[in-house]
Chain A
């Protein structure tokens, strides 16, 4: 039972354009969502998060949007840079738990 899904295994964009990574979840108990970036041979690095009381959170080039009714969130990167090339994981949790539930990841490649 995959409670967090990232349906696109990979995404390729041109430098300077927008990257949009998507994530869907099924568990209504989730109330806090995070995006992590992972380079090979490193642990996941926290990027940005959003609480379920908000529908948008921005941090520099990164914006996360949350649509609770659709149980969908997305990460927008504008403008995309070659250094953004990595695997991006969506994760979800709840004030009732400690653990994060991760999606399968999306490989983002930004071409110069």
Chain B
């Protein structure tokens, strides 16, 4: 079946602009995660949705970052007033996790964001 898809694959923007990154999870997966990976590092957690609600947004670095998942499927990560330090690969993952259970997260190919 189809895996996690992310669009766009690459995004180049100028400092101060607004960007939206989209994630399409595996069909039927209730949990959706966003991570950010900088060069030479492992992915770092940003936010986790269980259904439509954000169950944990403790990884969002500041209030310029926001994510939504209005219908419990597709999610959009929104970054306002982008800064050069926001340049990274943004990864989305999904799983069939139920609250209180462990699970395997399956990742998309990522969106490479470059802020000039």
Contacts and interface: CB of A to CB of B under 8 A. Distances in A.
A and B physically associate:
yes
Interface of A: 4, 31-32, 34, 36, 41-46, 49, 51, 89, 91, 93-95, 97-105
Nearest to A48: B104
A40 to B, nearest CB: 11
Contact of A104 (B33, B42, B55, B108): B42
B48 A98 contact: yes
A49 B104 contact: yes
B109 A97 contact: no
A47 to B, nearest CB: 10
Interface in B32-77: 33, 35, 40-45, 48, 50, 55-56, 59
A101 B45 contact: yes
Interface residues of B, number: 29
B56 A98 contact: yes
Nearest to B43: A102
A97 B97 CA distance: 10
A94 to B, nearest CB: 8
Contact of B33 (A34, A45, A98): A98
Interface of B: 4, 6, 31, 33, 35, 40-45, 48, 50, 55-56, 59, 91, 93, 97, 100-102, 104-110
B100 A95 contact: yes
Nearest to A33: B102
A104 B91 contact: no
A105 B42 contact: yes
Contacts of A45: 107
B105 A100 contact: yes
B5 to A, nearest CB: 10
A42 B105 CA distance: 15
A105 B42 CA distance: 6
A44 B33 contact: no
Contacts of B35: 100
B4 A43 contact: yes
18 contacts: A34-B105, A36-B107, A41-B109, A43-B4, A43-B109, A44-B91, A89-B42, A93-B102, A94-B102, A98-B31, A98-B48, A99-B33, A99-B45, A99-B59, A100-B35, A102-B43, A102-B44, A105-B41
